[in-house]
Every structure is written in structure tokens, then in C-alpha cells.
Amino acid sequence: MCGVTGNAQDGNYKVNDLQLKDNKRAQFVKESLKNLILSNEQIEKVGEAFKQEMSSALDEKTSSLQMENTYIPELPNGSEEGTYLALDLGGTNFRIILLELANGEFLKEDFKFYHISDEARLGCGIELFNYLAECVKDFMTLKNMPFDMKIPMGFTFSFPMKQHSLHSAELVTWTKSFNCPSVVGCDVVQLLQTSLRKHGMRNIEVLCILNDTTGTLVEGARLDAKTRIGMILGTGSNAAFLERADRVHHWEGERHGEKNVIIDIEWGAFGDKGTIDFIRTEHDKEVDNGSLLKRSFTFEKYISGKYLGEVVRVVLKSLCDKNLLFTKASKDLFPAPWKFGTDNVSHIEEDALNGCSNTSTVKVLDKFNYRFNIDYDEDDIKVIQYTTALVSYRAALLVSICTSVLLNRMTETDITVAVDGSVYKHHPRLKKWMVQLIKELSPEKNFHLMLAEDGSGKGAGLVSAIAQRINTRNVCITNGNHNNGHAMNGHGKEMNGLGKHMNGHHNGVVNGSNGIHNGH
Ligand code: BGC
């Protein structure tokens, strides 16, 4: 099962075997890259390690996975309504979003992107949070919203955190291209809330903090009630899923009879304790050594957009060094570390879809100033395509193994997996491979991979609405009033009121009459 090479009849399902004019060279290349191909035994061991690390983390034992309790015990039920601000921080750009919900549907989503400079991403954390608050102020100004306006906020913070409640979480470590060491261990909701207050926005209340995978799961569930898993395959990678609450031992504060709770796995760190070192190649070690966060986020370095291009570059470089690639080209043309982005991987892979053409690969090589028939020939193209396919297929396989472990953990047989992220959206074969591989790994499950775009933004609005619903319900329970229905309705009205307030005072703003947004 899950073997790597195949032929054209597989409908591009597998990686085409490498055939070169020079058969000996093909054999050498294949020999050099064979460690990128996982055996069935390794596949099983990765799945087993993931399963065990999940259980250990839930039992509060040593694990590379966080399995973080998000304190979100339910998915959207169609009653979500109100107007919310959302902050979405996770990449080099961050977004502020104004969302309006009614009957579980988005009426409006208005947003603006803000660039985060290197200084802010890699400097003192206080400055980063002050910058976030300045951007909120700018956004409110653009939307004619008074700074003292009372409005709930959802904070999508796509980094590993230790959550204490729905609205309190400490940063465990930065990932991707962020590294402001002084923020590690701090409550990021408090930092944000303090900065907002300091900048005059005293009435914005950060109701919830969530990860982009949680947002994707929640948005996925809004679109398709069978959604139980949210996944991001983008610059970073991670998944969240709906777990039985009785399996979750870490629970700060009171329980209120919750049956389920969303768990943020933080699978990017899978393997940080060495449990999957048996798949680690020399190339992976080299990528790790050159990365911002060494010896951390092992799994992410096999699968995510921040790293896939670099893995391919490092492997190609090793082939050059062995004189198996670009024998005629100048060494200066070869891209420097981290200069071969994952977009190139997707482009090269496009050729595999077009009857093994060369067009996209040639375009990529053009970008680096290589000249066909002078610096490289047909065989070089085939070696590049083969390498790119092997690295991509390994990523698809690893993600599929973990997805299948999650599916097999659930009692439901019909499950939708909501996915978002640049790698998932732009890699031409990844989704196809995943569907096939998950089918092979979880034959008894009927699953569906569904693109849930912008879960990181929309999810913040949905989770804010859910947070308000839960808060109201818990207050009612505490006060001895168990009439949830009334509590929710009453609450809904209150939120509607806020929505009306927004519309009444700033009509047209959320419609984007100033032309800033409408980006969906
Ligand atoms: C972060 C996760 C996030 C993922 C996708 C990872 O680097 O640790 O929290 O969900 O990227 O953005």
C-alpha cells in the first residue's frame, strides 16, 4: 500500500519512475533519493507514534504534541449572530476583520491587511502588540468606528499556546518567521488587551483566542455539519479536531457537562522528541540546521510551505554536488538557502499534470537565469521533477497518515475534513494524493476533504459568538436557570442590538463604500 512510484495509468496518483537517457545516472539519482520514500513499515510506525503521542499528551505525559484544550465545546448551530472584530495573526501579513453574523450566516466580512515588518516579527514583543493596537485604531478610523465603541473581539493567534480558558493563553514558542523571545510564556490576550487599552480602545473585549486550525474547523462545521477536523497546510501546518471531553484531562476551571471539546494538536512539533527520527534524512537535517527554530517543529519541516521549497533545494544541491544535476551550469546560478520558495514546487508539479510536460519547470529555471540546452538539458528537467515529486509525495503521505489516525479515532464513519492553506490550495497533486492515501489508510471511513477558505478570519467571529452563547448559558446554570433556549435567545437579541448599533451609526462602512476591502 501507499507505495511511491507508479505509472501513467495511476492517473498521476503516484510519482512517475525516473527514466533518463543515461540509465546509469537515473540509477544513481534514485539511489541518492531513496530515503525520501517511506516503506510500509515506516508508514505504520509514523502512525503508531502519532497515536501514542496524542494519547500521552491528553494524559498529560511527555509528548511532542500539545493537544491543547481550546475550551470550545461546541460547533456552530446556526444561531450565531452579532458584530465582531477579529484579529488574525499568523503570517507576515495580519488582518483586522469586521464580521457581521445573523442566523449562523455571514452577512458581511470587511477586512484590511497590514504588513508586519521584520523588526516587529523578530524584535521586542511589546512593540509587536503595540503595532497590532495601532492597526486596530487605523482600521476603526477607516470604518468610522468610535475608539470607545463596545465591541467583542476574537483573536486568531496561529502559534502554539498553552490555553487556560477561552480567553487566556500563553505563547509556548514562536514558529514560521516570528521570533520575539520576550513574548514566550506571556498571556497574549492580556498583552493585546493592554495594548488596545493603552491606545484608547477601552471597550474592545477580547472574548476568545483561537488557532487558525480551530477557526477552519468551526467555519468548516458551519458549511458542512459533518466537519470534525480542521487543518492548515500553508506556511505552517497543524490540525484541530473535536475530541470527547472525557478523554481530555487538562481542564482548568469548572466543567459544565461538556461532551466534546476542540483540541488543537500542534502537529507541527510532532517528532520533536525523536519519535520519528527514522524518517529523517541528511537533507532534513540540513534544512533544520539552517532554520530559524532549530530542532523544533520537526513535522512542519517535512510538510509545510515554509520548508518544502528549501527541502527540494537542499536535495537538488546534493545532486549537483554528486555531479548528477546541472553538470554544465555555473554554481552561481543555484539558488541560495531559502531562496527557492514552495511556489516553485507547485509550479514544477504542474508539469506532471500536463502529460509530463516541461513548460512550468523551464519557467522556474528561467527565473534563476538557467538557459535550456546551455546550462541544462531534458535529463536535468526530469531529475528536478522527480525530486520535487518525491518531496511533495512524502509531505502528502505524512499528512495523510496523521489524518487517518484522527479519522480512525472517531466513532463517526462520515467525516468532513476542512482544509485551508497555500500548499493545499496551490499544489496541483497534493489533494489528489491525500484522498487516495487516506482511503488506503482508513478504508472503513467515508471522508471528504473540503476547502474551507478563511477559517482563520471567519472562525474568530464564529468562536466569539459561541463564546458569548456559552458564557450566557453558564451564567444561567450558575444562577439556577437551566433554560438554555431563553438564555441564548436573549443573548442573540443583545448581539443583534450591537449589530444594529453598528449599522445605525456607520451605515455603508461595512459595505466597503470606501473601497478598502471587499476582499472575499
Ligand atoms: C503553528 C500553528 C498553526 C500552523 C498553521 C504552525 O506553525 O504552530 O499554531 O496552526 O502553523 O498556521
Pocket test for ligand 1, best of 211, 264, 456 (most atoms within 8 A of CB): 211
- Could you tell me the distance, in angstroms and rounded to a whole number, from the CA of residue 143 to the centre of ligand 1? 30
For 319, the grid coordinates are 545532486
- Could you tell me the distance, in angstroms and rounded to a whole number, from the CA of residue 401 to the centre of ligand 1? 18
- CA-nearest of 347, 401, 431, 284 to 47 is 401
Using H for helix, E for strand and C for coil, what is the string for 67-108?
CEECCCCCCCCCCCCEEEEEEEECCCEEEEEEEEEECCEEEE
State if residue 160 touches ligand 1 by the CB under 6 angstroms criterion.
yes
Is the pLDDT assigned to residue 260 strictly greater than 80? yes
Split at pLDDT 50, 70, 90, the class of 91 is: confident
Pocket test for ligand 1, best of 66, 161, 210, 212 (most atoms within 8 A of CB): 212
What is residue 8's predicted lDDT score, i.e. its pLDDT? 41
Q: At what angle do helices 308-321 and 282-289 cross, to 10 degrees?
A: 120
Give me the residues paired with residue 263 across strands. Answer: 69, 241
Split at pLDDT 50, 70, 90, the class of 478 is: low
Half-sphere exposure of 195 (CA within 13 A, CB side): 19
- 378-397 confidence digits (pLDDT tens): 999 999 999 999 999 999 99
Encoded amino acid at 370, one letter? Y
- CA-nearest of 467, 493, 500 to 207 is 467
- When pLDDT is averaged across residues 192-212 and rounded to a whole number, the result is 96
Which domains does the chain carry? 22-59+274-411+421-445 (3.40.367.20), 76-224+457-515 (3.30.420.40)
- Could you tell me the distance, in angstroms and rounded to a whole number, from the CA of residue 466 to the centre of ligand 1? 22
Is the pLDDT assigned to residue 199 strictly greater than 70? yes
- 420-441 confidence digits (pLDDT tens): 999 999 999 999 999 999 999 9
Pocket test for ligand 1, best of 88, 158, 217, 304 (most atoms within 8 A of CB): 158
What is residue 6's predicted lDDT score, i.e. its pLDDT? 53
pTM, rounded to two decimals: 0.90
